[in-house]
Structure 1
Amino acid sequence: MHPAPSVILFTVLSGMGFGLLAFLGLGAAQPLGLAAFLLWGLGYALAVGGLLASTFHLGNPQRALRAFTQWRTSWLSREGWTSVLTLLLLAPVALAAIFGGLLPPMFGATGAAMALLTVYCTSMIYAQLRTVPRWNHWTTPALFMCFALTGGAMLSGHNGAGAILALLLGGLLVFAFRRGDGAFADAGSTIGTATGLAGQVRQVAPPHTSENYLMKEMIYRVGRKHSRRLRIIAVLFASLLPAAIQLFVPPLPVVMGFAALLHLIGAFAARWLFFAEAEHVVGLYYDARPAAASIS
């Protein structure tokens, strides 16, 4: 799949933002005054900034509001609704903290649950797709949720939980990479199933004389050498280095901010691979499987 920068920004930033908002809503951190303004502001900035980035991938951004009408069948629509409800539900909690007060825990807990539900809805946009075997697995929502919780724990100052979650995230990343490498073959899709023809099928001539939308969006080639390096960067920066810093370095704000920055770099690398390594079955029809190209 084509790793569009807008979608990568959307999923990484909004995930971290809603993760932070979930921790703040649960009262895991209870800043007041200026500290509350900065921390809640960071959560809202990440969440809203990520959501706004997603609109740049739309063919006609003016029609983005129409996505809210399909909530019965579309995970994208459900994500839109849950994100708006989260931001609205947590706004009174944030404002109360900024002005030096605290609301009953029920308000924050409800908003926190909606924040995590938003992350889950985002993940299901991809996990539901049977046409992308690498995504069509429980590891996709697990990774999205683990990234959100890890980032939220780190930004809210919970170093112990952040370190544990970071290590869990690293193990999950390694497992998802290894499982995903064989997912397409395990799905049993072939050029015969892609074209609906029986027997041994081979392509004599390409379906099109020039590249089309499907080939641009659904087919992407990434070399194994580059993939291997980015996997190492993803696990090292998103998991191992932040976990080590949180466990063994004094929890100074500058140090913890540096750990969060490293985690963010790893998250971007992992999310780029999430899209770039995903094979859509339409590649069989065009005889252009990315995995075949990545061997060379």
Structure 2
Amino acid sequence: MHPAPSVIVFTTLSGLGFGLLMFLGLGFPAVTGWVAFVFFAIAYALAVGGLMASTFHLGHPERAMKAFTQWRSSWLSREGWCAVIALLVMAPYGAGLVFLGETYTALGLIGALFSLLTVFTTSMIYTQLKTIPRWNMKLTPAMFLSFSIAGGALLAGQVNAAMILLAIAALVQLAYWKQGDEAFANSGTDMGTATGLGSRGTVRAFEPPHTGTNYLLREFVHVVGRKHAAKLRVISFVLAFVLPILILLISPHHFGALIAVLSHLAGIATSRWLFFAQAEHVVGLYYGKR
């Protein structure tokens, strides 16, 4: 898949934002007043900023509101509803902490639940696509959720929990890469099944369907060299997980936590780029790209 910057920003920032909202809804950290205001401002900036970034990849942004009517069949619609509910519920919960010093526990728990559901529904937008075997597996939502929860713990200043959750997210990432690399081959899809001519023998492309580019090639076919991908995997893994854990072990205070957050953010963004760039759409078979 073509790694559009808007979608990378969306999945990176919204995951962190809703992860932080989840922890705030659960009461971690237990803050009130202006300190609570800062935490909620960061959470909303990340969550809303990520959601707004996603609209830049829509072919017809003016039709975005219509997506809310398709919640029975569309994960995109369900994501929209969960995000709106989470943001609306967390607003009075945050206002109670900031202006009244009151904790509305029920609202916090509901907001935390829908924050987590927002990340899950986002992941299901990609998981449901059988045409992209690398995404069409159970580890995809596990990766989205583990990244969001670990990042939320890091932003919430839950040092001990963050180190454990980052380690879990790192293992999920490794498992996702391993299974994802084998997904296309294990799907049984090849030129023969794609064209329906496999029963006649080995099928190969005589020449490309056309000489110029088109929408399918621009959006669904993006080839990344193995050496390049391997280097980016190492960079993303170190920045997202290894370095933040080491920093938290050495300097768990404010400055160290800030560096850990920035490192994690850069690593997750790199991982997200690979998530899209390495996604092999079966349409690439028609163009000899797989």
**Which TM-score band (shorter chain)?**
over 0.9
Deviations 1:67-104 (A, max 9, x none): 11111111001000000000001100111111142233
Map 1:235-254 onto structure 2 (within 5 A): 235-249=237-251, 251-254=252-255
User: What is the aligned partner in structure 1 of residue 13 from structure 2?
Assistant: 13
Distance 1:170 1:62 in 2: 38
Which residue does 1:143 correspond to in 2? Answer: 143
**What's the secondary structure of 1:99's corresponding residue?**
helix
TM-score by length of 2: 0.97
- Kept in 2, the 8 Å contact 1:160–1:247? The answer is no
2:224 corresponds to:
222
Matched, 1:73 2:76: no
8 Å contact kept, 1:26–1:112: yes
Partner of 1:202: 204
3-state DSSP of counterpart to 1:92: helix
Query: CA shift at 1:24, angstroms?
Result: 0.1
Distance, in Å, in 2 between the alignment partners of 1:82 and 1:208 is 43
Shift of 1:137: 0.8
**How far apart are the structure 2 equivalents of 1:62 and 1:104?**
36
Q: How far, CA to CA, are the matches of 1:194 and 1:135 in structure 2?
A: 18
2:96–2:104 contact (8 Å) kept in structure 1 = no
Contact 1:222–1:277 under 8 Å retained in 2: yes
Contact 1:23-1:29 within 8 A present in 2 as well: yes
More displaced, 186-195 or 205-214? 205-214
Q: Which letter does structure 1 place at the counterpart of 2:233?
A: R
- For 2:281, give the aligned amino acid: H
Distance 1:12 1:104 in 2: 29
Gaps of 5+ in 2: none
Q: Runs ≥4 in structure 1, deviation > 6 angstroms? A: none
Asked if structure 2 preserves the Cα contact closer than 8 Å seen for 1:13 and 1:50, the reply is yes
Q: What residue in structure 2 maps to residue 255 of structure 1?
A: 256
Q: Within 2, Cα distance between the matches of 1:41 and 1:121?
A: 23
* Amino acid of the structure 2 residue aligned with 1:115: S
Distance 1:104 1:48 in 2: 22
| Aligned Cα root-mean-square deviation (Å) | 0.9
Aligned residues: 288
Deviation at 1:205, TM superposition (A): 2.1
Q: TM-score, normalised by structure 1?
A: 0.95
Q: 1:90, 1:81 → 2: CA distance?
A: 14
Q: Distance in 2 between matches of 1:206 and 1:229?
A: 31
Residue number in structure 2 paired with 1:91: 91
1:135-194 CA-to-partner distances (Å, cap 9, x unmatched) read: 111110011001110110011110001001111111111111111111100001010111
**In 2, Cα distance between the equivalents of 1:272 and 1:31?**
35
**What percent of counterpart residues are identical?**
54
Where do 5+ consecutive residues of structure 1 fail to align? 290-296
State the one-letter code of the partner of 2:246: A
Shift of residue 276, structure 1, vs aligned partner: 0.5
Partner secondary structure for residue 110 of structure 2: helix
94-103 or 226-235, which deviates more: 94-103
